[in-house]
Amino acid sequence: MSKKTPGQSPRENYRNAITEKEWTVETLRNVGYHMIADGGAKVINGVGSFIGNHQVRVTSPNGESKDYEGTRIIINTGSKPIMPNIDGLASNKRVFDSAGIMNLKELPDKLVIIGAGAIGLEFATIYNNFGSKVTLIENAQNFMPAATRAVADHVRANLEASGIRILTDAKVTDVKDTDRGADISINMQSGQVLNVTSDAVLVATGRKPDIDRLNLNNTDIKLTDGRIDFNDHLETSVPNVFVEGDVKGGPQFTSISLSDNRIITDYIYGDAKIGVESEQSVFPTTVFLNTPLSRIGMTSDEALHSGKHVGIGHLDAGDTLRSRITGDETGFMEVLVDLDSKLVIGATLYIDNAEEVINLIELVMREGLPYTSLMNMTYTHPVSSEMLFFLLNDLKELK
């Protein structure tokens, strides 16, 4: 989305990108609609809620309601942003979630992002690339707390070098709307109070299952801590009522939603041989920064304390031909191997094309193939994936 047209101002580039985004979203919605409707399904526009275990009431945009009964029901209502309890935040017209901010027609000169998870990092990168002055605020003591310190420090250094301001151990206490913009008060762990003014504020503090309007109290569907309970085939406590996608909680990725659909389809129409445990115990993720960060399986910290005899292959991006050709010499490749079983147990890729290379590693892990299968491939040249040969050919014991 942050691609630029030579000769255009940052604001013109941003307007063009938003226009293209709107066209793309509308096109995909239209394609999705016709995939369902043209396949013989009836598409009903409205808000659905349960009135019984297998009965749903749909209220149309004009307020009319109609009841339906289904032998099988799939709940796929997605997730919604978590709005933290900060004075003035929810009512401030300059505050947006990740969907709302992409409806802004004009590029904000200054953008504050509350939350430095995947959404916060990606939007910080996008808006910084367009020319916004971005401040990223993280409540946790450590930046990217789920990552190893080496990975987090590397990513942080690159983001800050690109012009993004990052505050950690920082708590937003108040947001006021003024003529100048949104005035944000931030308490630092040191006791210092910072005041930042911004044209827009993006809240990226996580998402939760969107179930409030489902009226699940009219059913026997059980919940735990606000999440719908389900079995390995994504069936809820009510037989033949299933849950898929972000609404079920857990990892919120499109790839997981597609996997959910395969599991349910196999259960209903197939042999019921696949389930959450077999399909989603290992899966890759990518944070799309200027240099993508992809991960699967264990981190080096986790592997070190796993009790396994672990080998690590590490290669800096600057040592790869592909990175020298593209000019993106940021980052590194790291693959972890159980030296006893010869199986790959994890990988972290912070390189050009990481989002593609990680899928090769997933295939090897999912199929239980030895790490040497990645070494014995004939790769095209020059590409990022061919570096797996050199990396795995020089494993060192993880200590």
Give the tokens for residue 121.
């990092």
Residues pairing with 79 in the sheet: 209
Residues 6+ positions from 62 with CB-CB distance below 8 Å: none
Selecting among 34, 154, 309, 381, the annotated active-site residue is: 381
Q: Which pair of structure tokens corresponds to residue 216? A: 């699940």
Sorted by sequence, the CB contacts under 8 Å of residue 209 that are 6+ apart come out as 77, 79, 226, 227, 228, 246, 247, 248, 249
CA pair distance 302, 283, nearest whole angstrom: 16
Q: What is the dihedral of CA 23, 27, 30, 32, to 10 degrees?
A: -130
Q: Is 381 a catalytic residue?
A: yes
Nearest to 170 by CA among 184, 149, 159, 157: 184
Phi, psi of 276 (to 5 degrees): -60, -45
Cis peptide bond prior to 382, omega within 30° of 0: yes
Q: How far is CA 51 from the centre of its chain?
A: 33
Residue 245 near residue 233 (C-beta atoms within 8 A): no
- Phi-psi bin for 113: left (phi > 0), alpha (psi -120 to 50), beta? beta
| 142's tokens | 């450590």
Give CA–CA dist 319/341, Å, rounded.
29
Cα separation of 285 and 288, whole Å?
A: 10
Q: Quote the CA–CA distance of 397 and 303 in Å, as a whole number.
A: 11
CA atoms within 13 A on the CB side of 334: 22
CB 212 within 8 A of CB 79: no
Pairwise CA distance, residues 187 & 177, whole Å: 18
Indicate which residues carry an active-site annotation. Answer: 381
